[in-house]
Structure 1
Amino acid sequence: MTLTTGPERRPVLTVLQAGRAAAALAIVVYHSAIATRDFAGAIPESVFRILECGTFGVDFFFVLSGFIILHAHGGDPPGAAAARAYAWKRVTRIYVPYLPVALALIGLYLALPGLSARTREWSLLTSLTLVPTGAPPALAAAWTLEHEMMFYVLFLAFFLARRAFPALIALWVASILVGIGLGLETSYAAPSPLSILAPINAEFVAGMLAALAVPRLAGRLALPCLLAGLGGIAAFFGFAVDPAGPARMAFGTAVALCVAGAVRLEIDGRLGVPAWAILLGNASYAIYLVHNPLASLGARIAARVEPLRSWPASLALCIGLGVAAGLVYHLAWERPALAWLRRRVGPRREALSQ
């Protein structure tokens, strides 16, 4: 099976941005519920159980990441030059928005060690580099970025060993399944080098498979594919699957079906995305980076301001602060900083590669 599916995979797909927006909002809701529970008072258990489903926004992000990487680079030529260009794009895309937030939190935790609701250890090395050491980063949500970096490093084989890449990915998935069978402890929330075998990583592969499937998916099957994925998600929640268990991969598979169907519908001109969803999707990484500290701040404010002491008011404040701050961070730093790098560094890199 070829991994390059032609120019059809190159267009900007707004449905992916809408998916990123949905994933980010789900995670914001989840962490806002936790912050409200920790600082502003109890949330009814039945309501919290619904809100904590937002944790699966992480799975959505992983599937989308696998899809986007292959969509963006599947037509790139093999070789070291393309590998360097890919690595530069991924490194800048991750670290330029991440490091200011990480440094700010490191400074806060060093100055105010009891700032967190729960006293927890964190690794300075992991916080600065996203290298998986087994200790969490200062920014709690950054554990997902450690998995992203593992995947990005593995994807370098696409450029350096193109023919062997499908076998390498198959071996990766097989190793994950063997690890599940052996009961291997592969923490995903505090990654270590062994966490390359964490079941949640298989969702990157599900996303890549969805990207491969889209050009081969007949238009008449796009809507059934989307509906099958939605049915799989509903069944997953209906069976109340352990969110930390390997069955979580089933959720990622269902999401991959949704993504493949939705993308095919957009390519065929049968699905549109509103401008506000595209904006939120563009800002989704910034929202993801800043929302958790802002949710904590919002809940602390709500606990001290009489009109906001109810859990719905606290929850709304946390969500609003997280999304608004993420939009501001995207527009004020992430987007201009990355654009500046493309203008200043991009031409030099092209000259060096010639």
Structure 2
Amino acid sequence: MRSRSEKVITVLQAGRALAALAIVAYHSAIATRDYAQALPVGAFYAFERGAFGVDFFFVLSGFIILHAHQDDPGGAAAAGAYARKRLMRIYVPYWPAALAMIGLYLVLPQVSGSQRSWSLVTSLTLLPTGAPPALAAAWTLVHEMMFYALFLLSYVVRGFAWIVAAWVGLILAGIGLGLETAYAAPTWLSLFAPINAEFVAGMLAARAVSRLSPAWALPALAVGLSGLVAFFALGTDPAGPARMGFGVAVAFLVAGAVWLERAGSLAAPGWLIRLGDASYAIYLVHNPVASLGARIAGRFEMLRPWPVSLALCILLGVACGLAYHLAFERPALAFLRRRVRGRARPDGFMTRNR
């Protein structure tokens, strides 16, 4: 089995950072438009493309999960270790941010500019109830949890590849039947939402990287870039099933970038890697912080022009995310991982006592 250091891919951490920045810019543009000053149509359209950072994260999740766990042994013990790791990674940083939003909405229900409804159950558990979570960006985490649950089957069921193929088939069948699968308010039918195919694209990229040589890097990058150009040139509906095409193009880019890193031809700058380490924390806290920044900007003439408000929102979103990562996410996860390792026997399995 490969060591953990061999599984860390720095270009993907840099990619996380860029995707997080794109999403922050997207939500900052919306907040600026709603609370400070409307952006020019062209500028808003450009920042609106930042929503596709979510697609990158879905592809990346599929890649990393398979890359990190494809050598795991099967069985209940390995499945339990995988589940503990995933649940800890998602929920520990998520719950404080979610509880803060729940408290805010309970005390000041009018604080949402759109008077949005939300589900307490979904907010606390990330289970799909048909209503969105209080933390708006957490709708993506509902899909993440669906994918993690599906991947759990790989530890206990033979022929996992056929299960994944059937999943993709059901997604395509749902598209053909016109199945409505709302992203922001997931139900159990959202397991078959087209955007979930991007997890599979990421897994296929990870499998290609593990089996093919870095000589495929440039062809993969060429296909990925061509796919992105075609996607945007065709003006594809970002809410429609054709969005899967963006995810497939990103999967080619991810594979190409990883191959280049392995060949020693690509290196990510350290500051971007560190920003990528904080990308989940940035994602969790940026939206309410950006909204607050835009509301403040809207009250002061010197901050109201959209370039100033937008810059303020982006800066606040990234800075608060970094602070949350350094002050809570990183130390909390490090503490829990030490506790988990302390309870493990030398053979790696968990003891029942202690």
The two structures share one fold, judged by TM-score above 0.5: yes
Secondary structure of the residue that 1:114 maps to in structure 2?
Answer: helix
- Per the alignment, residue 252 of structure 2 pairs with 257
The reply to whether residue 277 of structure 1 matches residue 272 of structure 2 is yes
Q: 2:10, 2:277 → 1: CA distance?
A: 10
Equivalent position of 2:231 in the other structure: 236
Q: Give the secondary-structure state (helix, strand or coil) at the position aligned to 1:27.
A: helix
Specify the SS of the correspondent of 2:84: helix
Whether 2:129 is the aligned partner of 1:133: answer yes
Q: Which of 235, 242, 263 lines up with 1:268 in the alignment?
A: 263
> Does the aligned pair in 2 maintain the 1:32–1:296 contact within 8 Å?
yes
Match of 1:111 among 99, 107, 111: 107
Q: Which amino acid aligns with 2:325?
A: H
Deviation readout 1:7-31 (Å, 9 max, x if unpaired):
4994310011011111111110100
Q: How many residues align?
A: 348
Partner of 1:83: 79
Alignment-mate amino acid for residue 115 of structure 1: V
Matched, 1:51 2:50: no
Give the superposition deviation at 1:227.
Answer: 2.5
8 Å CA contact 2:224–2:253 kept in 1: the answer is yes
Is contact 1:81–1:353 with CA below 8 Å preserved after alignment? no
**Conservation of the 8 A alpha-carbon contact between 1:213 and 1:260:** yes
SS at match of 1:327: helix
Cα distance in 1, alignment partners of residues 186 and 24 from structure 2: 22
Counterpart selection for 1:325 from 320, 323, 338: 320
Cα distance in 2 for residues equivalent to 1:68 and 1:155: 12
Q: Which structure 2 residue ranges, 5 or more long, are not aligned?
A: none
Amino acid at match of 1:52: E
Task: Structure 1: give runs of 5+ residues left out of the alignment.
Answer: 1-5
Aligned with 2:155 (options 133, 154, 159): 159
Give me the whole-angstrom Cα distance separating, in 2, the residues matched to 1:78 and 1:351.
15
Asked whether the equivalents of residues 217 and 264 of structure 1 are also in contact (C-alpha less than 8 Å), the reply is no
Aligned-residue offset at 1:351: 4.1
Please, what TM-score do these two structures have when normalized by structure 2?
Answer: 0.96
Alignment of 1:153-232 (within 5 A): 153-161=149-157, 163-232=158-227
Letter in 2 for 1:310: P
The residue number in structure 2 matching 1:13 is 9
C-alpha displacement of 1:149: 0.2
The answer to whether 1:34 aligns with 2:30 is yes
Runs of 4+ in 1 over 3 A off after TM superposition: 6-10
- Alpha-carbon distance in 1 for matches of 2:150, 2:82: 12
Q: What is the Cα deviation at residue 218 of structure 1?
A: 2.9
Measure, in 2, the Cα distance between the counterparts of 1:42 and 1:60. 28
1:261-298 deviation per Cα after TM superposition (whole angstroms, max 9, x unaligned) = 00011011110000111011100000000000010011
1:120 positional shift: 1.0
What is the identity, as a one-letter code, of the residue corresponding to 1:15? V
| Matching residue's letter, 1:30 | Y
- Picking from 62, 66, 75, the partner of 1:66 is 62
Specify the code of the residue in structure 1 equivalent to 2:351: L
Deviation at 1:117, TM superposition (A): 1.1
1:17–1:281 CA contact under 8 A, matched in 2: yes
The letter for the 1-side match of 2:304 is R
Find the residue that maps to 1:156 and give its secondary structure.
helix
The corresponding residue for 2:351 is 352
In structure 1, what residue type is equivalent to 2:147?
F
Letter in 2 for 1:93: R
Query: Quick one: which amino acid aligns to residue 119 of structure 2?
Result: S
Give the AA of the match of 2:39.
I
Aligned partners of 1:261 and 1:345: how far apart in 2?
Answer: 35
Q: Distance in 2 between matches of 1:18 and 1:64?
A: 12
Offset of residue 347 of structure 1: 2.3
CA distance in 1, matches of 2:340, 2:2: 26
Tell me the distance in 2 between the aligned counterparts of 1:119 and 1:171: 39
Contact 2:28 2:313 in 1 (8 A): yes
SS at match of 1:118: coil
Secondary structure, aligned partner of 2:116: coil
Aligned equivalents of 1:50, 1:353: Cα separation in 2: 53
Aligned residue type for 1:158: S
